[in-house]
Amino acid sequence: MPARQRVPPLSSDQPDRVPADPQEVLELLGTGELEVTGRVLGASNTTLLARASSGERSLACVYKPVAGEAPLWDFPDGTLAGREVAAALVSEAAGWGVVPPTVLREGEFGLGSVQAWVGPGPDIAGESAPEPGAGVIDVVQPSRVPRGWLTVVQGEGYRGEAVSLVHADDPALARMAAFDAVVNNADRKGGHVLRGLDGGVRGVDHGLTFHSDPKLRTVLWGWAGKPFPDDVVALLEATAAALDGELAEVLSTLLTDDELLAAELRVERLLQRRRFPKPPPGGRALPWPPF
């Protein structure tokens, strides 16, 4: 797995004073003073480290301005930040617990998504910080697949050696795989799976979601074709109910009518089949690069 890139430290040495109430976290992200403190290196779109502050409350976050989004052939320009927020809204409304709190707001470089930072503070990022995907996703020699882990695909490494892309048979990761099918995530890389300070697994980088065409590309194919566990079925039912209510009205400000209808139909089909989707035959099923 590639080494996590070092990012600049926060300009403030003041520790986070994070509200315990999720609604207060969203309020702080949405209305707190937003100070840009650095930049995440190597990101394809402008990804800035920031801190949202209000009084004694302070929270490290990631700010992605719309102005810094690279054009794509298959997604409309200037829509990725809204898709980040849409994914967070679905995650929160139905209880998936996959996406960190995220809002759409103005910042130093214009309108963009602002998302709570996951894991150890960015001021200590580097060798002391855990790798993205650490403990749940890896590329290993076929003979060294951890016991109980699921193999996604086998291939060759940079030197022509045999390698396997694998992930843990973890309930939280299974929920993330099902959530990605709901939001039609076209970019679930291993580096987009992080472990929070509470030990929970979270997903980030949901800008390539909610396309009206099938776009699911993920490293989490280990459960392909297997029945959903009961908790995933319950989450899908909660998602269907939410999309039939106020959530749809909010999402309609972030997505097109066709995209919203496609999301509703995906949930309906997933509930009918009650199985994890399989990679499409002959289609591109893995993001590149995988991490």
Could you report the per-residue pLDDT of 237-276, keeping only the tens digit for each? 999 999 999 999 999 999 999 999 999 999 999 999 999 9
Residues 87, 212: one domain? Answer: yes
User: Does residue 1 form part of some domain?
Assistant: no
Residues 143, 229: one domain? Answer: no
> CA 102, CA 84: separation in Å to the nearest integer?
7
- Most confident range (mean pLDDT) of 13-17, 32-36, 124-128 is 32-36
Q: Number of helices (H) and strands (E), helices first, in the chain?
A: 6, 10
Q: Write down the pLDDT at residue 128.
A: 44
Mean pLDDT for the stretch of residues 48-66: 94
Residues 92, 227: one domain? Answer: yes
Residues 27, 85: one domain? Answer: yes
Residues 159, 142: one domain? Answer: yes
Domain count for the chain: 2
Q: Is 184 left (phi over 0), alpha (psi -120 to 50) or beta?
A: left
- Annotate 123-135 with b (16+ C-beta within 10 A) or e (fewer): bebeeebebbbbe
Please check the confidence at residue 154 and state whether its pLDDT lies above 80. Answer: yes
Q: Are 121 and 10 in contact (CB under 8 A)?
A: yes
Residues 265, 240: one domain? Answer: yes
Q: Could you tell me the pTM of the whole model?
A: 0.90
User: Does residue 279 form part of some domain?
Assistant: no
User: Does residue 183 form part of some domain?
Assistant: yes
Peptide bond preceding 289 in cis form (omega within 30 of 0) = yes
Evaluate the CA torsion angle 113, 116, 121, 126 in order and state its sign: negative
Residues 44, 69: one domain? Answer: yes
Return mean pLDDT, the chain.
88
Residues 146, 174: one domain? Answer: no
Residues 30, 106: one domain? Answer: yes
Per the structure, the complete domain to which residue 141 belongs is given by 137-167
Name the pLDDT band for 114 (thresholds 50, 70, 90).
very high
Q: Are 222 and 68 in contact (CB under 8 A)?
A: no
User: Does residue 16 form part of some domain?
Assistant: no
Please check the confidence at residue 121 and state whether its pLDDT lies above 80. Answer: no
